[in-house]
Each structure stands twice: as structure tokens, then as C-alpha cells.
Amino acid sequence: MDSIIVFASGTGTNAKAIIEHFNENKKAKVSLIVCNNPEAGVLEIAKKEHIPFLIITKKTFQEVLLLEQLHDYQPSLIVLAGFLWKIPEHFVHEFKGKIINIHPALLPSHGGKGMYGAKVHDAVINAKDRQSGITIHEVNERYDEGAIILQARCAVKEGDTADQLARKIHELEHFYYPRVIEQLLASK
């Protein structure tokens, strides 16, 4: 069975969607959750699902020991699901081709450092974009610039608020992210 390691910083709705998807079809399992926020909701999900978790600091994120710990789980894929730190270059090289991310907009628009969550949705609305969506992409050494794996779109209607747009984006994320992960694992 394939092993997935999920990195998350917040509430964990994408992590939950991934966990539930693979709990149902048994083609893979989330074997570890890595989090940089000891107050994050994703940790409650990990506890409820009996998934080990690791809380990291900026210092431990840079250490070789973390890489060794991750290798112990033999990850087929490392999935960023609302993880807000940039992945260090040595980390990207260590797990080349095995790290993916989801971004709540249609890259290359509205990506880069500091562009996450409501900031992205506000930028889409302020730019008067008629469409937004999600981008699932490989992770490389630069924010949101890895090869695009999938984009899914939704309409941005006049008068939509950032919260309304976020709900549309979450629906796309929760549907597509687990399925893309499954497809990537099947093709390895």
C-alpha cells in the first residue's frame, strides 16, 4: 500500500478529504501528518484518525533528521495541503518528483510568496477575474512554479465575496485533490 505524508498548517479540510478518500478505497494511506502549527485543526483530525503526527519548527524543518524521519515512512508522495512554509531546496531534491501542492487559484495568476487563503481570493476578486479555481502542481525550489498537474475552474460572479469564492474553491479541492493523488500513485 502506498504511503502518503501530508504537510498542513491549518484546519485540515484538504487533509481530511484525502484521508477519507483513501479510508474508503484502501489504495493508499496517510501514514503521517507534518504540521508547523501546534494549534492547527489538522492535528485533531490526525488524533481522531489515529494517524501519527509531527510538529516541526523552522529549525527542525531544515535538519537532516527530519528527512530521515520521513524516509522511515517510505512515502510514495508528499502532499502539501495548506502548508504555508516554502519547502527547502535540499528537501525538494531529496524527494524529487514526489512532492505536490494545491493552490487556490489558476496559476500562474495569484501565486507566489504570501499568496494563500483569503489573500488569494481577495486578489482574484480585486482583479475582476471571471474565473478562478485550483491548481495542483509539482513542488520545486520556487513558490507555485512547479509543473502543473491539473487545473479545475469555477465562475467568479459579480458580487462574490472572498468567503463565497473560498467555498467554491474548497469544493474543487476536496473533489480533485484526492483523485489526482490516486492517479499519480497509480502511475508510479
Active site residues: 103
Give the residue-averaged pLDDT of 5-15: 97
- In whole angstroms, what is the distance from residue 125 CA to residue 119 CA? 10
Instruction: Check residue 185 and give its pLDDT.
Output: 97
Strand order, beta sheet including 131-138:
53-55, 28-35, 2-8, 77-80, 99-103, 131-138, 148-155
- Find out whether 50 and 94 touch, Cβ atoms under 8 Å: no
Instruction: Check residue 65 and give its pLDDT.
Output: 87
Q: Give tens-digit pLDDT for 151-182.
A: 999 999 999 999 999 999 999 999 999 999 99
% of the chain exceeding 90 in pLDDT: 96
Q: Is residue 76 very low, low, confident or very high in pLDDT (cuts 50, 70, 90)?
A: very high
- In whole angstroms, what is the distance from residue 149 CA to residue 132 CA? 16
- Find out whether 56 and 29 touch, Cβ atoms under 8 Å: no
Average pLDDT in the chain: 96
Instruction: Check residue 63 and give its pLDDT.
Output: 86
pTM, whole model, 2 decimals?
0.96
Q: Is residue 107 very low, low, confident or very high in pLDDT (cuts 50, 70, 90)?
A: very high
Q: Is residue 25 very low, low, confident or very high in pLDDT (cuts 50, 70, 90)?
A: very high
Domains of the chain (ranges, CATH numbers):
2-108+134-151+178-187 (3.40.50.170)
Give the residue-averaged pLDDT of 27-44: 97
Asked if residue 188 has pLDDT above 80, the reply is no
| Maximal C-alpha separation, the chain | 50
Show the 3-state SS of the chain. CEEEEEEECCCCHHHHHHHHHHHHHCCEEEEEEEECCCCCHHHHHHHHHCCCEEECCHHHHCCHHHHHHHHHCCCCEEEECCCCCCCCHHHHHHCCCCEEEEECCCCCCCCCCCCCHHHHHHHHHHCCCCEEEEEEEECCCCCCCCCEEEEEEEECCCCCCHHHHHHHHHHHHHHHHHHHHHHHHHHC
